Structure 1
């Protein structure tokens, strides 16, 4: 009896903490994001969540309670982002997992979803967060796989934990990766079947993906949704060219309708059984959907670097990026999603909804001022040439004694490492990083991040003249709306 009481008290405490966190999030949202007072209707039939907007020709907002008047000082971006032209024509699909949902999803409630009129959240467990339904992407996978396949071990455990009122975030390990690939096709089928007639585009992203709403809407205006589009950051697996799922995938309504019609004409059970077997035999759900689209004669349109999978810290800032609009970032943590959202709002307030921000602008805002001095306890990801002392070099490293004298000196001090970079041609070195016995040189600009809490500490620097020369070469940017190879 005492054990049961302890479990109940623990569960109650956890629920209370979650309730307080979400209450704070929604208080913040309702206080600072005026337009999200528009009621988000939760449709019982599994339709996309939707932010109601003023009826055509009518100034009233359809809400269950009177919406407060926005403050005159409020950002124009927050007032307009859900109603700007094109916003109502996009359905955003977010893929996540129950073990991480409370860590990664809440930030989107007060950023991304504040601007997105239509969205659906898919996970591996059906639940509700506040008034937002979380769809179980796997509920319609055949029982033979859900109940018996090893990939679904975590799924079965999640259902058990939910029934018992346990904390599902405690379930960690590689099971999430094995399960993730099964979500892609089912969530697309669900979205394609429930999307309203106004939906022209589908954006599939993950909970650790950041998206620029203004750049996305401007980009979509350059394409016709009545044509078959499947766009993403190109990757190759075997003979399949596919869009990397975490970077974001864009699908036109025409492509969605073609897949839906093909599935219906084949017979849903037959179609699903075929692709479930294929999923069980392959590694990656994003590669699976590429092959499914090819069945209806829609091939990937390469969209990198507009859609890409790096963060501001890890991106290589090259000429391929500089004049392209930045649309997605991946593996970003909640604070990065928030800061990028704030940057986007400031940009729109200053430039309006018809001027995209480019990678150049992101660099100037987030990176430029931090690369003007050498930084200690900082790893700037220089990796193109690795100069390593004889005592530390491994069998795969260059022979230390075959290096030039200035390269041998480079492993002794940060100043000598910086000098080695300067002695290289400009195209071979724009930055460096040093730790005793190692000097790494980089030909592309990268920002990196602090290694203060790590065991190995580096000193990093950038060659200012070469950074300046690179930036001056692109002062007059012509916006590149097409991906490399498109």
Structure 2
């Protein structure tokens, strides 16, 4: 029997050897191919359809760690609006659009709008006529630095009843006192030059903590408190869906994460984060209660620590921003921010960088929305709403987007410098045409920007951004110059004339969109590493 087995083993070994040798040749061939193409990974000549060995800079930057796929929650949500969408909404009356708004939810959700008297009146009115239009006088709280009536709505001066310690020896409040004086003598809205002396930004940070206290005092026990600003666009349908997946009896502090203070008292010097006020942020009932709770002397029943507005006054004086202080106060009661970017979006409508990170995710807020965009987008949204699916960035694309054939190249247009990479000088790019050729040569490139005149700079981008009109201008660089007395003076070091030409890869963008159908809604989980 053994004599018959040995030849069979030899035969098998020969077959195995041939198979192994063949496989090894394939592996070696592939390795050599990868090696020789290593200088230009993932590149091809798109115009000719065959491979080229191209300079490595054409591949663009490597994907950043923050671009990793976030945790996705498969929530099934439904719209509370009825009717869900309104045909021909762009021509409908505001009252007809608001008739569909689920006002019963305001018994649980409290909107709080923060503004300043010195803000552009067109921006304030655009907000009240669109995003905030469907709230009644009793439903919407508006906090400012001056009490007044706008569009028939009462605006509350949130600074008026602050303790005297806010004003004492505080130059920030000189702006508030000047505004009050000008109002008394009737010059606030007539003496434009004098009003320019009022720096409303220096007062803004003092509205956050008092605003939270007042919101609870006026509307206690709401499940959710939604804080936003005059240029915040909110897709209320998406926000209502999102909040329906969360428990308000648990502490939640949610928004678009921004880097905050370092906790020096922590063992590892923890870097904290806060929710950027511009895209809006949301606090649950439990979070507000935790922030407002005060220690009580059991014997006397007296509070033994100051209220929230006084507890952090020293920090408010030193910090630049109220949203930063809000995040720090919550951190100190063990409530860190839950970063829900890109649901809460720090970009304006024209600045959304469409990519895999901005496509199949729901849009809850946008920041720095222009009055024109706010009006158009609000009406458009009423005609696009669906019962079984929230509004996605994919949908937002159809509202306004770049990259159509008729807008493949725009003069006096700036589409970004977002997710960009610049060719080195040896690429010898000296015009919008050669900049476009560089974009065509890199299959990651979806759009480009040529900064002409003195700048002579080509910017390639692998995300898709609409941008905005921009006339030629002068970019000024500044430096510091030491003076004879030892002081340092800010001086101009360089002035560069720049014009702007933007272009998009139309067919490539079309293919990119067709490959991303968004069959599943990407409700992302909270993160402070996934930031814009």
Instruction: Report the TM-score range of the alignment, normalised by the length of the smaller protein.
Output: 0.7 to 0.9
| Equivalence for 1:362 | 396
Tell me how far apart the structure 1 counterparts of residues 360 and 225 of structure 2 sit (CA, whole Å): 25
1:328 and 2:365 correspond: yes
1:263–1:271 contact (8 Å) kept in structure 2: no
**What do the CA deviations read for 1:353-397 (whole angstroms, capped 9, x no partner)?**
x4211011101221156575211221111352345xxxxxxxxxx
**What do the CA deviations read for 1:104-155 (whole angstroms, capped 9, x no partner)?**
2112232122223521111111222253211112123321332530111211
| Equivalence for 2:8 | none
Tell me how far apart the structure 2 counterparts of residues 296 and 238 of structure 1 sit (CA, whole Å): 15
Out of 97, 102, 124, the position equivalent to 2:116 is 97
| Equivalence for 1:132 | 153
1:262 and 2:297 correspond: no
SS at match of 2:345: coil
SS at match of 1:262: coil
**What do the CA deviations read for 1:147-192 (whole angstroms, capped 9, x no partner)?**
5301112111111111111134832368222211111100000001
1:158–1:168 contact (8 Å) kept in structure 2: no
| Equivalence for 1:35 | none
Out of 491, 501, 508, the position equivalent to 1:459 is 501
Higher helix share: 1
| Equivalence for 1:289 | 326
| Mapping 1:284-433, distance limit 5 Å | 284-348=321-385, 351-352=386-387, 354-368=388-402, 370=404, 373-382=408-417, 384-387=420-423, 400=425, 403=426, 407-408=427-428, 410-411=429-430, 413-424=431-442, 426-427=443-444, 429-433=445-449
SS at match of 2:215: helix
With over 3 angstroms needed to count, the CA separation of the structure-2 counterparts of 1:439 and 1:79, relative to structure 1, is: closer
SS at match of 1:441: strand
1:243–1:287 contact (8 Å) kept in structure 2: yes
Tell me how far apart the structure 2 counterparts of residues 336 and 274 of structure 1 sit (CA, whole Å): 40
1:317–1:445 contact (8 Å) kept in structure 2: yes
| Equivalence for 1:13 | none
2:447–2:463 contact (8 Å) kept in structure 1: yes
CA deviation after TM superposition for structure 1 residue 228, in Å = 0.9
Out of 237, 242, 248, the position equivalent to 1:214 is 237
2:294–2:307 contact (8 Å) kept in structure 1: no
Out of 188, 193, 196, the position equivalent to 1:167 is 188
**What do the CA deviations read for 1:221-251 (whole angstroms, capped 9, x no partner)?**
1111111110010011232210001110111
Structure 2's unaligned 5+ residue stretches are 1-91, 263-271, 297-301, 475-497
CA deviation after TM superposition for structure 1 residue 270, in Å = 5.4
Tell me how far apart the structure 2 counterparts of residues 266 and 482 of structure 1 sit (CA, whole Å): 41
Tell me how far apart the structure 2 counterparts of residues 268 and 342 of structure 1 sit (CA, whole Å): 48
Tell me how far apart the structure 1 counterparts of residues 227 and 507 of structure 2 sit (CA, whole Å): 41
With over 3 angstroms needed to count, the CA separation of the structure-2 counterparts of 1:370 and 1:120, relative to structure 1, is: farther
SS at match of 1:363: helix
Query: TM-score, with normalisation over the residues of structure 1?
Result: 0.74
Alpha-carbon RMSD: 2.6
CA deviation after TM superposition for structure 1 residue 206, in Å = 0.8
1:81–1:87 contact (8 Å) kept in structure 2: no
Which structure has the larger Rg over C-alpha atoms? 2
1:252 and 2:276 correspond: no
With over 3 angstroms needed to count, the CA separation of the structure-2 counterparts of 1:140 and 1:482, relative to structure 1, is: farther
Query: TM-score, with normalisation over the residues of structure 2?
Result: 0.68
With over 3 angstroms needed to count, the CA separation of the structure-2 counterparts of 1:335 and 1:263, relative to structure 1, is: farther
With over 3 angstroms needed to count, the CA separation of the structure-2 counterparts of 1:422 and 1:263, relative to structure 1, is: farther
CA deviation after TM superposition for structure 1 residue 202, in Å = 0.8
SS at match of 1:319: coil
